[in-house]
Amino acid sequence: MTNTTDAIIKLYPQTQEQNEVDQAWQSWNSEQASEYCPRHVPPEEREHYARTTSLRQFYTDCLDGKWEAIGKKGRCKGTAAKDRQSLNRWERYSRPADWVGHWPGPSLALIDSGGGLLLERVFDAMLDSDRLSPNTVKSTRNHLMTIIRHAVEVKAISNIPRSEPIPTSSKTRIYTREEVTRILEALENLPSLRAAFLISLNVGARPVDLFCLKKSDLTRDLKRRRLIEFESRKTGKLQGVPISDETWKVIQPFAESGDSPYLFPDLGSPEALDPEKTSRARSRNQLLKLILRQVGITDISDTSGKPWQVARATCNERYESHAPGVGPFILGHSLSGVNARSYRDPTEAVHSAVNTLPPYVVGDRQRTLF
């Protein structure tokens, strides 16, 4: 073996150098691994830190790198926004009625010692308010529990408080065919809002993505099939959603006119830091809610399924009833074994489902909506 190794080194002198480099790297790597210490709260600081730190401050410390990050890959932009929103609700509904001045929320020590009673009291207050639906409270609870569980993982507190699950309705609200027909008839004099509503029903994009679509997002694949490509603001994933010829007829007038690079510049503020928090976005949503009430749809509001969320759920339902498994792909939901490239390159099954999606049937006449 030695003779063979010496022969190889004589023929390829760089082999000896490479071996030495590899050995040096392995030695350095082993040393780093042995010296690595997770960024946990030191034992001597835990009691003081828990007594003087709120849940929001702990979350900020994790973002700033003081402790281990929440999640293996950190928090994407959309998830981080939901985290902050949940922390706002936590502070609002945990605030004592007689508290004067700034309320930072209960300390980590109080969360640890109070067990599930404190959490249940806060979540009950959310449910009793008229501002939050059970689904919203459930989502808020999930985000808060993720932060609290991480506090246990980094040794900031010792126990995970237990609380009862939030009861929610198992039935998802979607638009019926008759409702879609009435809505489209009411939107006849609002062409851009009507087109956006149709695209939402067929593409399933979230409002923050739908009203930030650029004309350049309309593209074709290698087989010249039309796609809408956009990066999801919530997940950061690049999605490629096929569009049928009928959907292109809806989009084409807006894609080929105007000087703005955006499809619907009059319905949103796509260049704003948070487009869905602008006055233009609020006005658009209020207008759609008003139209829904005018056509007899009164059960859709901020607390029972927002109009664009219901359109997104309708899109998923249509595809799932037509070709099971395609709906989550269209909506950009994470699936096992599906990576970012798969979202960007729809499979033949997805293209087939989009092109063969049956139209709505209303009464005795067929109305092609997509």
Confidence grade of residue 13 (pLDDT, cut at 50, 70, 90): low
pTM, to two decimals: 0.69
Alpha helices, H only, the chain = 2-11, 14-35, 46-52, 55-63, 77-94, 108-128, 134-153, 177-186, 191-203, 207-210, 245-255, 279-294, 307-322, 326-331, 340-344, 348-355
**370 pLDDT more than 50:** no
**33 pLDDT more than 80:** no
> Of all helices (H) and strands (E), which one includes residue 207?
helix 207-210
Section 134-143 average pLDDT: 90
> Of all helices (H) and strands (E), which one includes residue 35?
helix 14-35
| % of the chain surpassing 90 pLDDT | 42
Lowest-pLDDT choice from 47-61, 200-214, 268-282, 351-365: 351-365
pLDDT the model gives residue 310: 92
**Where do we find the tokens 């249940």?**
120
Lowest-pLDDT choice from 273-277, 296-300, 343-347: 343-347
**339 pLDDT more than 60:** no
Section 132-141 average pLDDT: 88
Single-letter amino acid, residue 256: E
**Beta carbons within 10 angstroms of residue 11's beta carbon:** 8
Confidence grade of residue 63 (pLDDT, cut at 50, 70, 90): confident
Structure tokens given for 345: 């390159």
**Whole-number average pLDDT of the chain:** 83
pLDDT the model gives residue 21: 59
**253 pLDDT more than 70:** yes
Single-letter amino acid, residue 53: T
By DSSP bridging, strand 218-220 and strand 226-231 are antiparallel
pLDDT the model gives residue 221: 84
Question: For the segment 108-130, what is each residue's pLDDT rounded down to a tens digit?
Answer: 999 998 778 899 999 999 999 87
Structure tokens given for 341: 């490239």
**Cα end-to-end distance, the chain, whole Å:** 72
**Beta carbons within 10 angstroms of residue 139's beta carbon:** 17
Structure tokens given for 90: 């936590």
What structural domains and CATH numbers belong to the chain?
Answer: 43-153 (no CATH), 177-367 (1.10.443.10)
10: Cα separation from own chain's centroid: 59
